[in-house]
Structure 1
Amino acid sequence: MQLPSSQTSPTQRRAFLAAAGATTLGLATSSPAQAEEKPAAFVAPPTGKKILLSCKLTMIAKKVDGKDLTIVERLKLAQEAGFDGVDFDDAAPYTPEQVRAAVQESGVFVHNAINHAHWGKRLTSKDEAERAQGVKNIEHCLRVAQAAGGSGVLIVVGSGNDGTEEECNERARTEINKLIPLAASLGQPILFENVWNKLHYDHDKPPEQSPQRFIDFVDSFNSPWVGMYYDIGNHWKYGQPREWLKAFGRRAVKLDVKGFSRAKNKFVDITSPEDDLPWDEVRKGLEEINFTGWTTAEVGGGDAKRLTIVREQMQKAFGLT
Structure 2
Amino acid sequence: MMNTFNLTRRGFIACAAANSVTAPLVARERKVDESSLAGRVKKAVKFHMVNEDLSVHDKFLLLKDLGFDGVEPRAAVAADQKQFVRDLASATEKTGLPIHGVVHSSKPNIEDAIDQARHLGADSVLHVVRYDRKISYQENHQNTSAILRRGAAHAEKQKVRILIENVWATFLIEPTAMRDYVDAIQSDWVQVYFDVGNVVRWGWPQHWIEVLGRRIRKLDIKE
TM-score interval (norm. to shorter)? 0.7 to 0.9
Asked if 1:79 corresponds to 2:69, the answer is no
Q: CA deviation at 1:89?
A: 2.4
Asked if 1:99 corresponds to 2:71, the answer is no
Match of 1:61 in 2: 51
TM (normalized to structure 2)? 0.75
**Would the aligned equivalents of 1:112 and 1:154 in 2 still touch at CA under 8 Å?**
yes
Question: What SS does the corresponding residue of 1:161 show, helix, strand or coil?
Answer: coil
Compared CA separation, residues 141 and 81, structure 1 to 2 (3 A): same
Identify the structure with bigger relative contact order (alpha carbons < 8 Å, sequence gap 6+). 1
Aligned length: 183
Q: CA deviation at 1:170?
A: 0.3
Match of 2:108 in 1: 135
Out of 145, 165, 169, the position equivalent to 1:173 is: 145
**Would the aligned equivalents of 2:104 and 2:128 in 1 still touch at CA under 8 Å?**
no
Q: CA deviation at 1:211?
A: 0.5
**Would the aligned equivalents of 1:99 and 1:144 in 2 still touch at CA under 8 Å?**
no
| Percentage of pairs with the same residue | 27
Q: Deviations over 1:217-243 (max 9, x none)?
A: 111101001011010000112111111
1:94 & 1:236 partners in 2: Cα distance? 37
2:82 & 2:91 partners in 1: Cα distance? 10
2:59 & 2:222 partners in 1: Cα distance? 21
Asked if 1:230 corresponds to 2:175, the answer is no
Q: CA deviation at 1:145?
A: 1.4
Please identify the structure whose Cα radius of gyration is greater. Answer: 1
Greater helix proportion: 2
Alignment gaps of 5+ in structure 1: 1-47, 64-68, 119-133, 202-209, 260-321
**Would the aligned equivalents of 1:162 and 1:168 in 2 still touch at CA under 8 Å?**
no
Match of 2:40 in 1: 50
CA RMSD between the two structures: 2.0
Match of 1:254 in 2: 218
2:69 & 2:82 partners in 1: Cα distance? 22
Q: CA deviation at 1:62?
A: 4.1
Out of 90, 93, 108, the position equivalent to 2:97 is: 108
Compared CA separation, residues 87 and 254, structure 1 to 2 (3 A): same
**Would the aligned equivalents of 1:111 and 1:149 in 2 still touch at CA under 8 Å?**
yes
Q: CA deviation at 1:54?
A: 0.5
Match of 1:148 in 2: 120
**Would the aligned equivalents of 2:101 and 2:123 in 1 still touch at CA under 8 Å?**
yes
2:64 & 2:82 partners in 1: Cα distance? 21
Shifted more, 96-105 versus 181-190: the winner is: 96-105
Q: Deviations over 1:82-126 (max 9, x none)?
A: 11111122534347554332210221111000134x3xxxxxxxx
- The amino acid of 1:230's aligned partner reads F
Q: CA deviation at 1:160?
A: 4.2
2:111 & 2:99 partners in 1: Cα distance? 17
- The amino acid of 1:88's aligned partner reads P
Q: Deviations over 1:22-65 (max 9, x none)?
A: xxxxxxxxxxxxxxxxxxxxxxxxxx5111000000001240xx
Compared CA separation, residues 163 and 104, structure 1 to 2 (3 A): same
Alignment gaps of 5+ in structure 2: 1-37
Question: What SS does the corresponding residue of 2:133 show, helix, strand or coil?
Answer: helix
Q: CA deviation at 1:175?
A: 2.1
Shifted more, 157-166 versus 179-188: the winner is: 157-166
Q: CA deviation at 1:72?
A: 1.2
Asked if 1:182 corresponds to 2:172, the answer is no
